[in-house]
Structures are given as C-alpha cells and as structure tokens.
A and B are shown apart, each in its own frame.
Chain A
Amino acid sequence: QKEVEQNSGPLSVPEGAIASLNCTYSDRVSQSFFWYRQYSGKSPELIMSIYSNGDKEDGRFTAQLNKASQYVSLLIRDSQPSDSATYLCADTPYGNNRLAFGKGNQVVVIP
C-alpha cells in the first residue's frame, strides 16, 4: 500500500466554484502534511502545510486535517483558471527523514 493515496481522477470545476481534493495516508503517527501545486512542465511548489487537526486557511486555500480518520483535504475557493494544475499531497511518516507524495490530482478550471 502506498503511504499517501490520492484516488480521484481529474477534477473539472467552473471558474468561481470550489475545488475539493482529498488525500489519505497510512501512517497513524505522521506528523506533517503538505499540499504542493505543480504546473505542467514545472517543479512542484508548496502551497499549504498543516500539522494539527482542524482547518488552516491561507487566502483562497483551506487545508483540513483529520488525524483520527487519516485524511487531509484541500479546498480551493473562487477557483481561477490559474489554479489549473496538478495538486500533490505529501506527508512525513513518523521516524522517517523523508517526504512521501501521492500520485497527484489534476484540476482544470473552466472559464
């Protein structure tokens, strides 16, 4: 089993709508969780990090962490065409000096 799972296929949302992405992780004691955005042909870049249960908001982005259910989600409010990218979920499995990534979810915002 992969440590970080992102199972949803490509997500198409109309401009101005909310895009919702989900991620589950296997290590019950993972401590740190991240969402990276990757534009086509570019390197991933960090958009959100979250370390404790609950919600964390940064502009139009909200990350939600539920450690009991072992999932982390990302909401993109008022989606813009510039949000069209692949979003990668990642965590740091406890005791490991590394970052494990999910396969990513492609988001397409339709004007």
Chain B
Amino acid sequence: DAGITQSPRYKITETGRQVTLMCHQTWSHSYMFWYRQDLGHGLRLIYYSAAADITDKGEVPDGYVVSRSKTENFPLTLESATRSQTSVYFCASTLRINEKLFFGSGTQLSVL
C-alpha cells in the first residue's frame, strides 16, 4: 500500500560516521517533517519542509542536514554522528499544516 516509508528500520553506526536516513511518501504531500523521540523529551522537531526546495530548522537542527529536491523524498543526514544522536527518528508528512500528520514507522538509530 502506498504511504510514507522510512529506511532503514534499524541502524547501528559509529561516532564520526555520516549516516543518511531516508523518507519517501507517495501522496504528494506538501509538508514533510523529521522528528526525534527520546525518553523525557517527547517528539522534537529537527527540520521541516513546506515544499520542494524549501526547508527550515526546527527545535534541534544542530548536526543534521536535510534536502528536498523532489516532493516525495526528504532525506536526513547526520554529518558526523555523535552518541547524543542515538534516538528514534520519525518522518512525517501532511498535505496542509492544520490537517492530520502521517508518520513513518520510524528509524531506531544507535551511535556507538
């Protein structure tokens, strides 16, 4: 079934390595988001995008890079992974900002 998919589902990497998390949606939603979820912090916004080629920082953008050359894809790159970036990462999308947000299944990232 079409929808929003994240890959990989699980990832283990080492400190200092570059890691890219993928997000793909098939609905042509305008808005896409990357959140990280940690115990005690809830969902924190890393980056978001209102349309292709338009991205903006969220609450915790340091150490992350995003791009959105196509509407359907919104990859998140950790340029040099740190242990503090160990987290569960969720990608989400919506057609309009005041409507339901659709979440991917999440990527559990461990940085050793």
Contact = CB atoms under 8 A, between A and B. Distances in A.
Contacts, number: 58
Interface string A33-55: 01010000001111001010000
Chief secondary structure at chain A's binding surface: loop
Given A43-B105, A43-B106, A103-B40, A98 B98 contact: no
A45 B106 CA distance: 13
For chain B, give the interface size range.
Answer: 20 to 34
Given A45-B103, A49-B100, A88 B43 contact: yes
A36 B99 CA distance: 12
22 contacts: A36-B101, A43-B90, A43-B103, A43-B105, A44-B101, A88-B42, A88-B43, A90-B101, A97-B48, A97-B50, A97-B56, A99-B45, A99-B97, A101-B35, A101-B42, A101-B43, A101-B45, A102-B42, A103-B40, A103-B42, A104-B42, A104-B43
